[in-house]
Amino acid sequence: MCARASATATPTTPRPNDAVTAAILDRMEADGVASVALDLRGIDPARFPNVFRSLEEAGLDPRTEPVPVSPAAHYTMGGVAVDLDGRSSLPGLYAKAVAGLAVIGSCRRYRRRSAAKASAEG
């Protein structure tokens, strides 16, 4: 991702979602903009056909210009409250990994997802 002024907005090495979000928000605030640009021009549309189709339906052409993006709160919106065995309060409903909100979850759960899955799957 890059800022509108073509400077790098996010770290170039893999980072947890919250670190990437913080970098994007810092760049947006510094530049006084509502989004940064995601450059998909080097990506084969066949690799992500639904993404490219959705962008095109929204009037964006990811083949020729960067796409405006801003952070979403999907990983802070919670999940299904479960106990350590993956049971929810609704009989018969179990959740695990990212969908299950248990004591072992955190905002950096993606780094620990395999541990959460292992404990939920036993």
Give tens-digit pLDDT for 63-80. Answer: 999 999 988 765 555 577
**What average pLDDT does the segment 81-97 reach?**
82
Q: What is the DSSP string of 67-115?
A: EEE----GGGS--EE--TTSB-SSTT-B--GGGEE-TT--TTGGGGHHH
Which burial class, exposed, middle or buried, applies to 52 when counting CB atoms under 10 A from its CB (0-12, 13-18, 19+)? buried
Q: What is the percent of the chain where pLDDT is above 90?
A: 35
Tokens linked to 84: 């350590």
Give tens-digit pLDDT for 29-62. Answer: 999 999 999 999 999 999 999 999 999 999 999 9
Domain boundaries, the chain: 17-72, 77-121
Q: Is 23 left (phi over 0), alpha (psi -120 to 50) or beta?
A: alpha
Neighbour count for residue 101 (Cβ, 10 Å): 16
CATH number of 17-72: 3.90.700.10
Q: How does the average pLDDT of the chain come out, rounded?
A: 75
